[in-house]
Amino acid sequence: MSFVVIIPARYASSRLPGKPLKDIAGMPMIQRVWQQAVKSRASRVVIATDDSRIQSAALLFGAEVCMTREDHVSGTDRLQEVASVLNLDDSQLVVNVQGDEPLIPPIVIDQVAANLAANSLAGVATLCEPIATSADFNNPNVVKVVANRAGLASYFSRAPIPWPRNETPINALLARRHIGIYAYRVGQLNAFVNWPVAPTETAESLEQLRFLWNNVAIHVADAIAEVPCGVDTEDDLKAVSLLF
């Protein structure tokens, strides 16, 4: 199995401007993410950015960088541009590792790629984990996913799903939080950018719903290692820095 990791890294961030270059124990965050990715079994790790400051920093620590357009409406669109620039074959597996996850375990990067490789009916693979608290279950910022017994996603939502009509305990619901790491076949990325935005995608603000709307199966499995939350705020940054 061969796969390529692409790490999107935008300078603009409404909650934490310049996020990829924020210092974490003497090292920019994007370098921390890159270091985790190169520990995976990926044949190639590429940082995708639209900002020359991030490009310069990444080149200094030895990363491969692909410059992209500034006007992409989603991270999936940015990945497709990189796959096109790199001239990747339609069958090539690509893993999207978010540029704000300096603690991403390399083993889950390998897992999501292997899951897609093993499931020929799926065009995309992703991961999830159990939801343990009512607060998370009801939090619209915690994306939920429901899958069928074949491990294929039925739906992703910010709403609490499946809904416990009879006050079923959360652990009995098999409620799952979606973890935002994806593996794609490049051919599906190429198709994605040519589809109109799906109504469900607009309603939920979840771009993965465009794949389901167009009958592309998404494989979902529990992550085999805990995936810490990413860095979205200054408080997140301070908390993560204490772990290094």
Q: What is the pLDDT of residues 75-90, one digit of tens each?
A: 888 899 999 999 999 9
Tell me the whole-structure pTM to 2 decimals. 0.92
- Condensed to tens digits (0 to 9), the pLDDT of residues 10-54 reads 887 767 778 899 888 889 999 999 999 999 999 999 999 999 999
Task: Report d(CA 225, CA 181) in Å as an integer.
Answer: 13
Instruction: Going residue by residue through the chain, which has 244 residues, state the pLDDT in tens, using 9 for 90 and above.
Output: 799 999 999 887 767 778 899 888 889 999 999 999 999 999 999 999 999 999 999 999 999 999 998 878 788 888 999 999 999 999 999 999 998 899 999 999 999 999 999 999 999 999 999 998 889 999 998 999 999 999 999 999 999 999 888 877 766 668 999 999 999 999 999 999 999 999 999 999 999 999 999 999 999 999 999 988 788 788 888 888 888 8
56 secondary structure, DSSP code:
H
Contact 22, 28 (CB under 8 A): yes
Task: Report d(CA 106, CA 26) in Å as an integer.
Answer: 21
Q: What is the DSSP string of 226-242?
A: -------SHHHHHHHHT
Residue ranges of domains in the chain, CATH in brackets: 3-241 (3.90.550.10)
Phi-psi region of 76 (alpha: psi -120 to 50; beta: other; left: phi over 0): alpha
Q: What is the DSSP string of 100-116?
A: T-TT--HHHHHHHHHHH
- Tokens representing 26 are 């003497």
